[in-house]
Amino acid sequence: MSAGSANRVDSSKIEVASIWKTHGNRLARKIRSELRKVGFNKNFKVVFSSEPDISSKGGSFVGVTGAFGLVICSGVHKRDYFKGLKKVSRKIFPFGWIILSNSSQ
């Protein structure tokens, strides 16, 4: 879930954390408040920015709002990809990590 990327311009401040560990984000604060009211106490991850809101100076940078979506897609892909592998071995190659399941070794 995205906890709000509006009025942000620094993509290096994007973080992924439990909804209960977010900070500096009014939307996440409101969501936490509503979750407490209904007695919800489970963890789930959200994408948020620790950058202070710049609403008094202008709007958002499209690179940040787009990066929020890419971070969410990456998290879903990792979760779904690794869910199907029972044991994973990783080998380093000159161009990066290659992930091989036991069946392909």
Residue 56 CB neighbour total at 10 angstroms? 6
| pLDDT on residue 90 | 52
Residue 83 belongs to a domain: yes
| pLDDT on residue 99 | 47
Residue 45 belongs to a domain: yes
Q: Position of tokens 């560990």?
A: 21
Residue 2 belongs to a domain: no
**Number of domains the chain is built from:** 1
Does an H or E element contain 51, and which?
none
Residue 1 belongs to a domain: no
Question: pLDDT (tens digit, 9 = 90+) per residue, 15-38?
Answer: 888 889 988 888 888 888 999 999
Question: pLDDT (tens digit, 9 = 90+) per residue, 61-103?
Answer: 777 888 888 887 887 767 766 666 555 455 554 444 444 444 4
| pLDDT on residue 69 | 83
Q: How far apart are CA 32 and CA 51, in angstroms?
A: 19
- CB–CB of 91/63 below 8 Å? no
Do you know the residue count of the chain? Answer: 105
| Residue 17 belongs to domain spanning | 11-104
Residue 63 belongs to a domain: yes
Task: Provide the greatest CA pair distance for the chain.
Answer: 56
Rounded to a whole number of angstroms, the distance between the first and last alpha carbons of the chain is 36
Residue 5 belongs to a domain: no
Residue 82 belongs to a domain: yes
Tell me the two tokens of residue 101.
């399941």
Across residues 45-64, what is the average pLDDT? 77
Question: Above 90 in pLDDT, residue 14?
Answer: no
Question: Above 70 in pLDDT, residue 51?
Answer: yes
